[in-house]
Amino acid sequence: MTQVKDRAYWFEKRETLQIEGRAFIDGAYVDACKGATFCSYSPIDGQPLATVAACTDADVNLAVAAARRSFNAGVWADLPPRERKAALLKWAALMQAHLEELALLESLDSGKPISDTTGGDLPGTIYCLEWFAELVDKVHGEVPAIDPQFFGTVTHQALGVVAAVVPWNYPLLMAAWKFSPALAAGNSVVLKPSEKSPLTALRIAGLALQAGIPAGVFNVVPGDGSVGRALSLHLDVDCIAFTGSGKVGRQIAANAASSNLKRVWLELGGKSANIVMADCPDIPRAAASAAAAIFANMGQICSAGSRLLVQRAVADELIAELIEAAKGYQPGHPLDPQSVTGSIIDRIQFEQVARYIDIGKREARLLAGGNALSLAGEGAYLEPTIFLADANARIANEEIFGPVLTVIVFDTLEEAIAIANQTEYGLAAAVWSSNIDTLRTATRALKAGTVWGNCYDELVDMNFPFGGFKESGNGRDNSAHALSKYTELKSTIIRCG
């Protein structure tokens, strides 16, 4: 008889969950060199989850040395592409086999609803790894047409040691966006998960070894920002990929420049505009999409549609629909499969979002929400919040990273595009219209790495690159374009006669 996976099921499963908190270096779980640890607390209720190794420069040095040895020995980089592909696919299969364990661990560590981790985050992680695994043996070089006395090729070669520093909002998925293409290209990886959500990264490291990925090829060093700093300064790291805040991204770039000019790929913040024109083909659908764009994952999404720009003629109708749609995003206990949203990651982030709500109450009109909720002990829960504001308000221009939506009314398409483009960010945008010329004009003019038309972030497809313009970063995750970030181009020219 199949057991119903209700709240009681996940609570019972939590009681028997085994959690690994040690670092993973050179194919083994190890304590931090200095024996230091920190406690990982669950944002669900503020209760301790695990004792985690607090790595320092010494641990970073060991992990990078292991990655360098494995790369130089060719145990991974020199494998035939089909063998790398097979190992990565086996790793993905092991994640699938452990999906419930990993999903529960992710929910406990990040406050996400179990329905999100089982239905989105883990399947997305596995899909990403499988996609790049399948790409491994389908990438080809070039044979330029040159003087017949010569023979030449243009090939991609793995960089060497890749460091990945990833955030807490999608702990495993964001890690996969980095390590999947880096490993597929033949590199060795040192992964630094956020100290707020390190547990799934540590767990999958053991699965990588079980899948046949050689020791030293995939390492995980948990710890605070000093670990990321050490990786960004390390002279034997060839590339660092980072997703997080602009402040930290700038420091990583500066550290890379002051050390060995390692490659730096940054995916930073966003203040994305979702534009609804008066000729929107479906106002209720646009309102429902706008609510999902900001309130899903508690608004902790870099590409969240945090600014809703509405043409004046339909503003009242859309706002009414939006307020109704927002009611579907009231947070609930993350281990209840009926919950659509869960908790903010921790009290620090909760207080930052609360400060912006206070700012919004002073400079704008509160339309819905704005209150904290008490759901589970010391957990951090917030109502979905909607403000009507001027385009120049702080809450309309600064990244809040929480369930706070700013609605801005405009009159013309030109005005909407100007408002959309006025921030330093350029990660994502959307426009809703029945007029193909409006869609074409807007999608070309919006300064964003991803622009949706008559939808917002509804298609999950690894074929599309993800990244931003302006201060939202550089480079792209996902798609075949991401693979080239972790390779060097080599021109080889041979005289034949």
From the number of C-beta atoms within 10 Å of its C-beta (0-12, 13-18, 19+), residue 18 rates as exposed
Do 254 and 330 reside in the same domain of the chain?
no
Give yes or no for residue 220 having a pLDDT over 60: yes
Query: How many domains are there within the chain?
Result: 2
Do 252 and 351 reside in the same domain of the chain?
no
Helix (H) or strand (E) holding 92: helix 81-97
- In Å, how far from its chain's centre is CA 141? 30
Pick the last residue of a domain from 216, 236, 268.
268
Report the pLDDT averaged over residues 239-259: 97
Catalytic residue among 267, 321, 383, 399, which? 267
Do 208 and 321 reside in the same domain of the chain?
no
Do 46 and 19 reside in the same domain of the chain?
yes
Sign of the dihedral defined by the CA atoms of residues 104, 292, 176, 197, in that order:
negative
Residue 423 lies in a domain: yes
What sections of 117-221 are H helices per DSSP? 122-135, 171-184, 199-210
Question: What is the pLDDT, as a whole number, of residue 274?
Answer: 98
Do 83 and 184 reside in the same domain of the chain?
yes
This prediction's pTM: 0.96
Residue 478 lies in a domain: no
Q: What percent of the chain has pLDDT over 90?
A: 96
Residue 486 lies in a domain: no
CA angle 202, 208, 212 (to 5 degrees): 155
Do 234 and 311 reside in the same domain of the chain?
no
Contacts of 92 (CB under 8 A, 6+ apart): 126, 129, 130, 133
Do 326 and 239 reside in the same domain of the chain?
no
Helix (H) or strand (E) holding 366: strand 365-368
Give yes or no for residue 100 having a pLDDT over 80: yes
| Closest alpha carbon to 27 in 179, 175, 217 | 217
Do 323 and 251 reside in the same domain of the chain?
no
* Residue-wise pLDDT tens digits, 175-201: 999 999 999 999 999 999 999 999 999
* Residue-wise pLDDT tens digits, 309-319: 999 999 999 99
- From CA 117, how far away is CA 290, in angstroms rounded? 22
Give yes or no for residue 4 having a pLDDT over 80: no
| Closest alpha carbon to 142 in 495, 497, 493 | 493
Do 289 and 422 reside in the same domain of the chain?
yes
Do 260 and 291 reside in the same domain of the chain?
no
CA angle 254, 258, 264 (to 5 degrees): 50
Residue 131 lies in a domain: yes
Beta 307-311 vs 404-410: how paired, if at all? parallel
Report the pLDDT averaged over residues 86-111: 98
- From CA 134, how far away is CA 127, in angstroms rounded? 10
* Residue-wise pLDDT tens digits, 67-76: 999 999 999 9
Q: Which residues pair with 431 in a beta bridge?
A: 275, 453
- Kindly report the average pLDDT of the chain as a whole number: 96
Question: What is the pLDDT, as a whole number, of residue 379?
Answer: 73
The CATH number linked to 306 is 3.40.309.10
Residue 2 lies in a domain: no
Question: What is the pLDDT, as a whole number, of residue 1?
Answer: 39
Catalytic residue among 55, 239, 280, 302, which? 302
Residue 496 lies in a domain: no
Does residue 378 have an active-site annotation? no
* Residue-wise pLDDT tens digits, 406-461: 999 999 999 999 999 999 999 999 999 999 999 999 999 999 999 999 999 998 89
Do 180 and 328 reside in the same domain of the chain?
no
Report the pLDDT averaged over residues 196-225: 98
Contacts of 355 (CB under 8 A, 6+ apart): none
Do 246 and 278 reside in the same domain of the chain?
no
Q: What percent of the chain has pLDDT over 70?
A: 99
Domain that holds residue 450: 273-459
Report the pLDDT averaged over residues 333-350: 96
Q: Which residues pair with 365 in a beta bridge?
A: 388
What sections of 332-460 are H helices per DSSP? 347-363, 413-420, 436-445
* Residue-wise pLDDT tens digits, 5-34: 999 999 999 999 999 999 999 999 999 999
Question: What is the pLDDT, as a whole number, of residue 2?
Answer: 47
Does residue 302 have an active-site annotation? yes
Distances (CA, A) of 494 to 9, 145, 154, 455, 471: 65, 13, 12, 52, 43
> What is the torsion angle, in degrees rounded to the nearest 10, for the CA atoms of residue 208, residue 209, residue 213 and residue 219?
70
428: which 2 tokens?
Answer: 């994502």
Give yes or no for residue 3 having a pLDDT over 70: no
DSSP state of 196: T
* Residue-wise pLDDT tens digits, 345-385: 999 999 999 999 999 999 999 999 999 988 767 778 999 99
